Structure 1
């Protein structure tokens, strides 16, 4: 069971991910609606994995990824983005994200991506 931090400015997106992840035996240690809160929660909970939205108020996902990577270079981050944001996803991967999932969420794709990234954690 992994400890996961969910970061998205849309509550229903956080809820969707929470349902999928908890159903698959993962623990949600926190939820943030912007990058600034995500960094504070990351420091507090040291999650095994972060799901990070890109477009958020206060601080966007790319900046939050860079900050989290400074705190913990081994952090595992999956970017969540809407279709057609390839450029932003590439930017997020360059900033340090390991993978991405596309909104709206497909449960199988979410779990496949989460499991792949968490497996790399063990290797």
Structure 2
């Protein structure tokens, strides 16, 4: 029997962690979801879950931001699958996400459709 894919949500906002988890369930994705509330905690959890976890990172967090966390995760394992998410459309952030090694970059919407779509895409890749 194959293990369910893992998704690690790293976001300082508890509400965003809960809403994304609910959106994943609503979309019918059969994944195990874990969460972290900071970049530092997320990097540690990503290291424990690698290589199979898909990591969803908020860009703006106090302490270690999502771009820094993405770089650290990719340094540990360049094959890690990382999605950087933001609440604001910004071409500079998209370029920074690519430079950090993110596999995808998307904007958080109320329904998290883009984030869930990015997770689905990485599960099947």
Note whether the superposition's TM-score is higher than 0.5.
yes
Q: Report the TM-score range of the alignment, normalised by the length of the smaller protein.
A: 0.7 to 0.9
Structure 1: gaps of 5 or more residues: none
Q: Give the Å deviation of 1:88.
A: 1.2
SS of 2:78's partner is: coil
2:117 is equivalent to residue 82 of structure 1:
no
| 1:56 matched residue in structure 2 | 61
Residues 30-74 of structure 1 deviation map (CA, whole Å, 9 limit, x = unaligned): 211221111111112224200000110110111100100011110
Superposed CA RMSD in Å reads 1.6
Distance 1:7 1:52 in 2: 5
CA shift for structure 1 position 107: 4.3
Is the 2:108–2:115 Cα contact (8 Å) retained in structure 1? no
Compared CA separation, residues 71 and 15, structure 1 to 2 (3 A): same
Query: How many pairs does the alignment contain?
Result: 119
Query: In the alignment, does 2:106 pair up with 1:101?
Result: yes
- Report the counterpart of residue 49 of structure 2 in structure 1: 45
How far off is 1:109 after superposition?
2.6
Structure 2, unpaired ranges of 5+ = none
Deviation at 1:105, TM superposition (A): 4.1
